Structure 1
């Protein structure tokens, strides 16, 4: 049976990404941190790990970016690669045993949620207290186990089922299109060979050589190699490299599979021009 780790606990949006990708006939291993999702995968104790990567409203999940940088640049080369992606629509709901919203006096949720439901919060009595938890799932657990009356949580519909908490108001998020993208990390690919009928992304990370850091157009010249070969770049993000001050690791996503001859040749050429360049994986574009 497939073993999958994810940023837990159960009922989180990452758990939802797991179900979307692998279904429920699997062994799941919820982890308390993103770092432990990497650790358990690299140890070989699970086949895959799923971690949040970016949100359509809030942008990068910097912990994931930084861990990828550290695992590939500071550790021995890890055994795993990026092998897939999943997109989860983020819909927040108000859950409570108290069915009258006007009686609610306290609401639990993850701190990031408050800014995503600001219009809903403004509609409540100003005396309602907001209490932070480390996940929306933990918020649901607290409310489900508490004997305190008139408390609620903002959480997912999955948590409503897991903790037997009624949804007293659905989809209270400000942005109805808010979506989180998750990476599937694996010790083996989800498919053996790329299919001509599918679209693929190749993800790389690189740093520039020290003598090129301040040369005019040096970063542009590297990126122009893709244009010269008619290869489209999808995204580019940067994080401090941690190798020296004001030196950066660049995360780039490229259309195409690393087994494509043209892309493979460009990457080989760039590897000689960069201080470090690692191909993080190729995977099917899902969105």
Structure 2
């Protein structure tokens, strides 16, 4: 099994890959230089899955990922068959890594690759993850230097089939399996800018008793001041509701239905 992700190794996206797939001999991880390359890899079937950042609890949208969904799924020239098939939440804890003391540091980098290129220099340090410290064999000078201890990034798993799940084990016992909550991710454009056009669509979710967990928008890049709306619902959406929604949209795409990750 091949899995692409936004690299290099040691990033928080790499951590999301490990949370989803574990560290197995049959899992080949393939770092990519950009989120766009991750989309290319899964669409061309170079890989079975790809993992990309989607949103952060502090900074909000990862706009590059949102825009790539728009560009891939609303482009009629692209036969886009992959979908969102999973998600992972990774706590973001930054650490100061290096060989010197705080008093000796003159330069700080914030990219894990840089850290591996400056070994044994006490005047240089890097801000990165605990995973990077292990990967590049760098001492942690100061732990947890982030401003917000609850800062978390949500990552999406893209693919064609439901991904295998890495079994978390706590004190030698597998966690009890709970009934999975489903999330459905959609994006749509409005037929016009008439008053209440967006409200009409959202009201259909209310009529169907579907709870929306998020709604975001990005420029549609079709004409000035037209927007793509990204919506996530806390359930699967049946065919009749989708048909009703499509009647009120200029275009509507289901990006995927997948299990909510409660980790």
Q: Same fold (TM over 0.5)?
A: yes
Give distance in 2, aligned partners of 1:105 and 1:196: 50
Give distance in 2, aligned partners of 1:8 and 1:65: 18
Give distance in 1, aligned partners of 2:6 and 2:109: 19
Residue 283 of structure 1 aligns with which residue? 258
Give distance in 2, aligned partners of 1:84 and 1:207: 24
Q: Secondary structure at the match of 1:143?
A: coil
Among candidates 223, 228, 232, match of residue 207 of structure 2: 228
Give distance in 2, aligned partners of 1:196 and 1:174: 33
Q: How does 1:207-226 map to 2 (within 5 A)?
A: 207-209=189-191, 212-213=192-193, 215-226=194-205
Pairwise CA RMSD of aligned residues? 1.6
Bigger mean CA offset, 149-158 vs 59-68: 149-158
Deviations 1:253-285, CA, capped at 9 Å, x for gaps: 011124xxxx33111111122111000000111
Work out whether residues 5 and 28 of structure 1, in 8 Å CA contact, stay in contact via their aligned partners in 2. Answer: yes
Corresponding residue pairs, total = 247
Q: How does 1:46-195 map to 2 (within 5 A)?
A: 46-74=47-75, 75-98=77-100, 100-109=101-110, 136-144=111-119, 148-190=121-163
CA shift, 1:196, in A, is 9.6
Deviations 1:33-64, CA, capped at 9 Å, x for gaps: 00000001111111000000000000000000
* TM, length-normalised to structure 2: 0.90
* TM, length-normalised to structure 1: 0.83
Residue 256 of structure 1 aligns with which residue? 235
Residue 29 of structure 1 aligns with which residue? 30
Give distance in 1, aligned partners of 2:141 and 2:3: 32
Give distance in 2, aligned partners of 1:22 and 1:137: 22
CA shift, 1:142, in A, is 2.9
> Which ranges in structure 2 are unaligned for 5 or more consecutive residues?
165-176
| Residues 196, 21 of structure 1: alpha-carbon distance in 2 compared, 3 angstrom cutoff | closer
CA shift, 1:96, in A, is 0.4
Deviations 1:89-147, CA, capped at 9 Å, x for gaps: 0000010011x2111111111xxxxxxxxxxxxxxxxxxxxxxxxxx322322333xx6
Give distance in 1, aligned partners of 2:112 and 2:21: 20
Which structure's residues are more often helix, by fraction?
Answer: 1
Give distance in 2, aligned partners of 1:42 and 1:273: 29
> Which aligned segments of 4 or more residues in structure 1 are displaced greater than 6 angstroms?
none
Work out whether residues 38 and 52 of structure 2, in 8 Å CA contact, stay in contact via their aligned partners in 1. Answer: yes
CA shift, 1:198, in A, is 1.4
Give distance in 1, aligned partners of 2:189 and 2:246: 10
Work out whether residues 139 and 154 of structure 1, in 8 Å CA contact, stay in contact via their aligned partners in 2. Answer: no
> Which ranges in structure 1 are unaligned for 5 or more consecutive residues?
110-135
